[in-house]
Amino acid sequence: MLELAAIFGGSFALALSGALMPGPLFTFTVSESAQIGVRAGPLLITGHAALELLLLVALVLGLGPIFKGPLVLAGISLIGGGMLVWMGIDMIRSSAEATLSNKGDISQGKRGPHPIVMGVVASLSNPYFTLWWATIGLGYLVMSMRYGAAGVAAFFAGHIAADYGWYVLVAIGISKGKRLLKDRSYRLLIKACGLILMGFGGWFLWSARTYISRAGV
């Protein structure tokens, strides 16, 4: 039991250090929490967690080296970067109709995909998500596998607990703070989130050049 508790604690701390770094998922959490409230946090992370579970299964089956391939990372960077740029542009365009005047905490402005879907998209579009799992995550997972299924479960539970804990706190903070926002400020916030997504997208598109050169293409 002590070994499993140690695995859980180590995984929690490792995941929290990554969750605290701003990225596409954080940006989506800010924009969605201002629009639909606290539930945006757990919904986004549910999509993120579902994708991580699939990736965990793939790593357990021994597919880790594939995810570290430069061509795979280049493809993820190109597709993900393009998706983020497109979603950022769409967010900026739709910000003109965004409003906090709502009924039942649902904005009357343009609604995008469901938060669970957005959680999946935010994770898939980030090549460093895959790289983290294929390197740091894989290393810790291999250690956890020494204790069988219980070790893997403790590893995943600690990882997901950190994600849920942090992003729910972010969602609560943004949701409570939106009471102080006026529609003009809210629209500026949405535009800022859109610009940030475009920035991440441009960064990922640029990073694809590095992976392509490593592959010798």
Q: What b/e sequence results for 45-54 when a residue is b if at least 16 CB atoms lie within 10 Å of its CB, and e otherwise?
A: bbbbbebbee
Residue 47's pLDDT is 94
User: Do residues 65 and 131 lie in contact, with contact meaning Cβ atoms separated by under 8 Å?
Assistant: no
Largest CA distance in the chain: 55
Beta bridge partner(s), residue 106 = 103
Q: What angle do CA 212, 124, 49 make, to 5 degrees?
A: 145
Tell me how far apart the alpha carbons of residues 116 and 132 are, in angstroms, rounded to a whole number.
21
Residue that has been written with the tokens 């080296």 in this structure: 65
DSSP per residue, 169-189? HHHHHHHHHGGG--HHHHHHH
Among candidate residues 89, 85, 76, the one with its CA nearest the CA of residue 125: 76
Alpha carbon 150 to its chain centroid, in Å, reads 26
In this prediction, residue 168 has a pLDDT band, given cuts at 50, 70 and 90, of very high
Residue that has been written with the tokens 């596409």 in this structure: 24
What is the arithmetic mean of pLDDT over 181-190? 76
Chain segment 127-140, per-residue pLDDT in tens:
778 778 877 787 78
Return phi, psi of residue 37, to 5°: 100, -165
Chain segment 43-92, per-residue pLDDT in tens:
999 999 999 999 899 888 887 777 777 888 788 788 878 887 887 898 88
User: Do residues 52 and 155 lie in contact, with contact meaning Cβ atoms separated by under 8 Å?
Assistant: no
Residue 99's pLDDT is 67
The burial class, CB within 10 Å (0-12 / 13-18 / 19+), for 181 is middle
Tell me how far apart the alpha carbons of residues 131 and 75 are, in angstroms, rounded to a whole number.
13
pLDDT at position 14 over 60: yes
Lowest mean pLDDT among 93-97, 116-120, 157-161: 93-97
